Amino acid sequence: MPEDRDRRRRPPPGGRWFWVALVILAVINLLLSNALLSPAPRIRISYTEFLAQVDAGNVVSVVGTGETIQGTLAEPISDPQNPQVTSTEFETVRPAFAEDDLLARLIDAGVTVNAEDPDRPPPLWQQVVFGFGPTLLLVWLWLMLFRRAGSALGPLAGLGRSQARRYEASGKRTTFDDVAGIDEAEAELVEIVDFLKNPEKYTRLGGRIPKGVLLSGPPGTGKTLLARAVAGEAGVPFFSISASEFVEMVVGVGASRVRDLFKTAKENAPSIIFIDELDAIGRERGGSMSIGGHDEREQTLNQILTEMDGFTGREGVVVIAATNRPEILDRALLRPGRFDRHVVVNPPDLKGRRAILEVHTRDKPLAPDVDLDAVAAATPGMVGADLANLCNEAALIAARRDRSTITMEDFYDALEKVVLGAERRIMMSPEERRRTAYHESGHALLGMLQPGADPVRKVSIVPRGRALGVTLQSPEADRYSYSEEYLRGKIIGMLGGRAAEEIVFGDVSTGAENDMVQATQLARSMVGRWGMSEVVGPVTVFDDRMVDAFGRPLVSEKTMEIVDDEVRRLVDECYEAARKQLTEHRDRLEALAAALLERETLDEEEAYRVAGLPRS
């Protein structure tokens, strides 16, 4: 093919740099050799000065070649042409008309007369060591630098090679038994495994396996684990690489690595190529991140598109990619013939979290009181990575307490540490402690009063993480959509701490900073994303897919002003509602604050009992 012929004629990557480096090394070697092997410089003096030095007894030795006399002095003298330069090595010329008995004069002065040339070349071993030693040392240093950078030969062979890591089917394999809580996504990939094991089952009927599978979903849901399980079940080589590893400073390296990766996968077929974080190179071309035309990232993307188009479906190579942001991917990647199958990996539900906890505790000794159903119910919204971390923290806490098994108390303490943050040993002044108690009581009381709000699970004025106190609320069951009333109630609860401070102390503190950030973000989403404003209407303003070349929303400044006004109105209304409810229930607020100052932490049952409210 013409493309193959062009590729063969093209010089290998780094070839030009090799010759440049070779010339530089040759020049350096020449300079060092001259410096190390050249004889010491001599000053040139007159014959008269030479005789004067002989008479003064300053000449140690001489050697004569024709009329030229070279020698060494006991004490250095100045160069007549350059008085600033002194040396003990000298050279002079005996005039042809001189009839003095120089040899006798030198012998009388005790000068050693040599027959050997003082500027004779050094021995062969010195010529070899000092002539080639610097070059060999520089070559060795050069190779070491590039080997440490990830390639033994640097630009000669490493830049264009794929950085993918290969996992063989032998040894400890990841299988579908290690994957839990994402049954729907797992079922989508069973067919891929069956094809890699029995390709003739599909090809004899004219079927074609999907060339690519795109896994999308929030971070930590198990996309990479799922891809490795497919390779483990199929028993084929698994080539894993992050998309960012394709792109280098040198133009063309990314495309070269893509070619090398796909070539290696075809040579080891059947096999699986897994590309993590595909959005690093798969962004839509011509968008806000591609100003300036054709860049290295786009070259890499174009090469991936070309390689996937080159599949006939019979090579036995399947490309699996994972991303957290499928909405920004180039449409050419998502069309049939490239990533044919799109699998959404969602956060697990209650049943899925229970199954994930079983996987991560199967090699941990659990006490009889451990109820994984209760742990799963207390962790709504957590994904597989969060639950794995929770189990690990519980094991660490149990080990710190010198226990032989992990108890339910360890799990609850680990959950508090993961969700709320680690306890901080700081000393708060009585006034600051009292203000924190009213602040958290305001959050908790509004969480109990708002209809449909998530139940209050724990209230504490023990400093955790960056907070001086925490109020934990979590839903009874998993939620997948939220009503406007529920979201307004969340904003009211977020502003409850600031409202309580203003009611009790007559001013506010910086402790409500994070509350205001969260309340403002939620209000902006309600107005600009979900159409929960009568003034703005059912219009989406904030969306990653609706931006210009500079990343700005595709709306007018007037619309943005209206959105800002509506956000301010919504937050003000919620804040007034918070103040009103806390004022009406001031006695409950005082009771909660007093209990917190006395016990520091209230669990769910104690908090509702102290507030005098039923647990709905």
Specify the pairing of strand 68-78 against strand 59-65: antiparallel
Angle at 257 between CA 256 and CA 260, to 5 degrees: 90
Task: Give the containing element (helix H, strand E) for 241.
Answer: strand 238-242
The DSSP string of 426-449 is -PPPHHHHHHHHHHHHHHHHHHHH
SS3 sequence of 291-342: CCCCCHHHHHHHHHHHHHHCCCCCCCEEEEEEECCHHHECHHHHCCCCEEEE
φ, ψ (nearest 5 deg) of residue 341: -115, 125
The full length of the chain comes to 616
Q: Which residues contact 613 (CB under 8 A, 6 or more apart)?
A: 448, 449, 588
Instruction: Establish whether the linkage from the previous residue to 80 is cis, with ω within 30° of 0.
Output: no
Round to whole Å and give the CA distance between 92 and 65: 11
CB 500 within 8 A of CB 583: no
Packing angle of the helix pair 586-599, 430-449 (nearest 10 deg): 130
Round to whole Å and give the CA distance between 442 and 495: 8
Residue with tokens 């030969």: 153
Round to whole Å and give the CA distance between 347 and 181: 8
Round to whole Å and give the CA distance between 503 and 445: 14
* Strand ranges across the sheet with 212-216: 165-167, 238-242, 271-276, 317-323, 212-216, 339-344
Catalytic, 440? Answer yes
Specify the pairing of strand 238-242 against strand 165-167: antiparallel
User: What's CA 345's distance to the chain center, in Å?
Assistant: 22
CB atoms under 10 Å from CB of 345, counted, come to: 24
CB 83 within 8 A of CB 37: no
Q: Which of 186, 233, 284, 440 is catalytic?
A: 440
Residues designated as active site? 440
